[in-house]
Amino acid sequence: MPRQCGSLTQRNTETTCPISVTLPTVDWYAIAVVVVFALMGLVCVLLIPLSLPGTWLLLGVAVFIELVDSIWRPAGKPMTFGWPVLASATALAGLGEVIEFAAGALGAKWGGATHRGVIGAIVGAIAGAILFSLLVPIPLIGTLLGALVGTFVGALIGEVTAEKRRHPRENVRAAIAASIGRLAGTLGKLAIGAVVWVLLVRAAYPG
């Protein structure tokens, strides 16, 4: 005789009983938000070598999502990121600014760059990053290369056109030091921006 489903008595002949399986509910809205945020955040990180505030733009998007996420998140569900995570990300973004400023200042001091040379390095870095991003369409590589070349050229022009005339060797040394400091600061800030991006994407992922 076949056994009855749910019966404690064992029978010789087996029968198939219907099994009720409860699948976990997938929050597709939250997943869509994470995917869109991850893509937008990656673009923000790639803006950092262009001397644009990519990390702060990334944080701005995250804060906006945190403020309006009650529209799609079910009642009782936790927040998308959580304010402690956003506070940590803000602290990291501030650290990135400190690294960039300190590296640039140390490079300028080591090379003896003038104020005009420092301004030229900043302007040259932005112009070079934009130009090389178009000429060398390799993500990040062309931008960093352009920022490095632009920093050197801009700093050198600034030193050569400074009121106080110096030996050409000193001008070149100042331009090289400014380029090294700028590159180190940009790489440090870029690394911090990538950490912030990973931190926020991981915090926003549901489950």
Spell out the residues 6+ positions from residue 84 whose beta carbon is closer than 8 angstroms to its own: none
The pLDDT value recorded for residue 13 is 46
The sign of the torsion formed by the CA atoms of 41, 46, 47, 48 equals positive
Integer Cα distance of 137 and 144 in angstroms: 12
SS3 (DSSP) at 90? helix
The answer to whether 178 touches 153, Cβ cutoff 8 Å, is: no
For residue 76, the 8-state DSSP code is T
The pLDDT value recorded for residue 8 is 42
Integer Cα distance of 143 and 189 in angstroms: 14
Spell out the residues 6+ positions from residue 140 whose beta carbon is closer than 8 angstroms to its own: 46, 49
Site of tokens 């331009």:
175
Task: For the chain, 207 residues long, give each residue's pLDDT as a single digit of tens.
Answer: 445 544 444 444 445 545 544 444 556 777 888 899 999 999 999 999 888 899 999 999 999 999 888 777 666 666 788 889 999 999 999 999 999 888 888 887 788 888 888 888 888 888 988 898 888 877 778 888 888 898 899 888 988 887 777 788 888 888 888 888 888 999 999 999 999 999 999 988 876
The answer to whether 144 touches 51, Cβ cutoff 8 Å, is: no
Site of tokens 């399986």:
21
Q: What are the tokens at 117?
A: 């040379």
Report if pTM > 0.85. Answer: no
Integer Cα distance of 47 and 58 in angstroms: 10
C-alpha dihedral over 68, 70, 71, 77, to 10 degrees?
140
Nearest 5°: the CA angle 107, 113, 116 is: 125
Integer Cα distance of 190 and 42 in angstroms: 11
Tell me the per-residue pLDDT of 28-67, one tens digit each, with 9 for 90 and over: 777 888 899 999 999 999 999 888 899 999 999 999 999 8
The pLDDT value recorded for residue 37 is 93
For residue 205, the 8-state DSSP code is S
